[in-house]
Structure 1
Amino acid sequence: MIYTLTLNPALDYFLTFDSFVEGNLNTPKETYKLPGGKGINVSKILKNFDTESTCLGFIGGFTGEFIKNTLTHDGLNTKFFSVKDDTRINIKINNNGLESEIAGTSPTISKDNMQELLNFLKNNLKEGDILALSGSVPSSLPASIYADIIDTIPKGVRVILDTRGLPFEAALKKGVFLIKPNRDEINEFFNSNFATTEELIQAGKKLQNMGAQNVLISLGAKGSIFITEKEIFISGVPKGTLISSNGSGDSMIGGFIYGLNKNLSLKECYEIGIASGSATAFSKGLATFDTMTNLLKDIEITRL
Structure 2
Amino acid sequence: MIYTVTFNPSLDYIVSVNNFQLGMTNRTATEMMLPGGKGINVSIVLKNLGLENTALGFAAGFTGDEIQRQVEEIGVTARFIPVDEGISRINLKLQNIEGTEINGQGPAISREKTQQLFEMLDQLQEGDVLVLAGSIPASMPDDIYRNILKRLDGKGILIAVDATGNLLVNVLEYHPFLVKPNNHELGEIFGVELKDRESVIPYAKKMQEMGATNVLVSMAGEGAVLAAADGKVYLAPAPKGKLVNGVGAGDSMVAGFLTGWLKRQDYREAFHMGIATGSASAFSEYLAGREQVEDVYRQVNSEVR
Bucket of the pairwise TM-score, normalised by the shorter protein: over 0.9
1:250 is displaced (CA, Å) by 0.5
Question: Is 1:147 aligned to 2:146, yes or no?
Answer: yes
Question: Is 1:282 aligned to 2:283, yes or no?
Answer: yes
Counterpart of 2:266 in structure 1 is 265
- Count residues in correspondence: 302
1:212 is displaced (CA, Å) by 0.2
Counterpart of 2:172 in structure 1 is 172
TM-superposition CA deviations, 1:224-271 (whole Å, max 9, x none): 111112111100121111111111101111111112221331110111
TM-score, scaled relative to structure 1? 0.96
Give, in whole Å, the separation in 1 of the partners of 2:102 and 2:236.
Answer: 32
Q: What SS does the aligned partner of 2:251 have?
A: helix
Q: Is the 8 A contact 2:181 2:218 kept in 1?
A: yes
Aligned ranges for residues 16-165 of structure 1 at < 5 Å?
Answer: 16-84=16-84, 85-95=86-96, 98-122=98-122, 124-153=123-152, 155-165=155-165
Letter in 1 for 2:227: I
Give, in whole Å, the separation in 1 of the partners of 2:35 and 2:196.
Answer: 36
Q: What SS does the aligned partner of 1:132 have?
A: strand
Letter in 1 for 2:131: A
1:93/1:194 Cα in 2 relative to 1: closer, same or farther (>3 Å)? closer
Give, in whole Å, the separation in 2 of the partners of 1:166 and 1:181.
Answer: 12
Give, in whole Å, the separation in 1 of the partners of 2:21 and 2:194.
Answer: 37
Letter in 2 for 1:277: G
Q: What SS does the aligned partner of 1:58 have?
A: strand
Letter in 2 for 1:94: Q
Give, in whole Å, the separation in 2 of the partners of 1:207 and 1:200.
Answer: 11
Give, in whole Å, the separation in 1 of the partners of 2:193 and 2:298.
Answer: 33
Q: Percent identity of the aligned residues?
A: 39
Give, in whole Å, the separation in 2 of the partners of 1:220 and 1:244.
Answer: 12
Give, in whole Å, the separation in 1 of the partners of 2:204 and 2:6.
Answer: 25
Give, in whole Å, the separation in 2 of the partners of 1:196 and 1:242.
Answer: 19
Q: What SS does the aligned partner of 1:138 have?
A: coil
Q: What SS does the aligned partner of 1:62 have?
A: helix
Q: Is the 8 A contact 1:57 1:79 kept in 2?
A: yes
Q: Is the 8 A contact 1:137 1:167 kept in 2?
A: no
Letter in 1 for 2:265: L
TM-superposition CA deviations, 1:147-191 (whole Å, max 9, x none): 111122252111101001221121122220011111110111112
Aligned ranges for residues 163-242 of structure 1 at < 5 Å?
Answer: 163-229=163-229, 230-242=231-243
Counterpart of 1:254 in structure 2 is 255
1:196 is displaced (CA, Å) by 4.6
Give, in whole Å, the separation in 2 of the partners of 1:185 and 1:148.
Answer: 22
Give, in whole Å, the separation in 1 of the partners of 2:194 and 2:43.
Answer: 32
Q: What SS does the aligned partner of 1:212 have?
A: coil
**C-alpha RMSD of matched pairs (Å):** 1.2
Give, in whole Å, the separation in 2 of the partners of 1:295 and 1:188.
Answer: 30
Q: What SS does the aligned partner of 2:275 have?
A: helix
Letter in 2 for 1:142: P
Give, in whole Å, the separation in 1 of the partners of 2:42 and 2:156.
Answer: 21
Give, in whole Å, the separation in 1 of the partners of 2:159 and 2:109.
Answer: 23
Moved more, 66-75 or 146-155: 146-155
TM-superposition CA deviations, 1:200-234 (whole Å, max 9, x none): 21111110111101111111101111111211110
TM-superposition CA deviations, 1:93-144 (whole Å, max 9, x none): 134x53210010121000000100001111x211111111000111111111
Letter in 1 for 2:165: G
Could you tell me which runs of 5 or more consecutive residues in structure 2 were left unpaired when the two chains were aligned.
Answer: none
1:198 is displaced (CA, Å) by 3.8
Counterpart of 1:4 in structure 2 is 4
Could you tell me which runs of 5 or more consecutive residues in structure 1 were left unpaired when the two chains were aligned.
Answer: none
Question: Is 1:298 aligned to 2:299, yes or no?
Answer: yes
Letter in 1 for 2:90: I
Give, in whole Å, the separation in 2 of the partners of 1:198 and 1:278.
Answer: 20
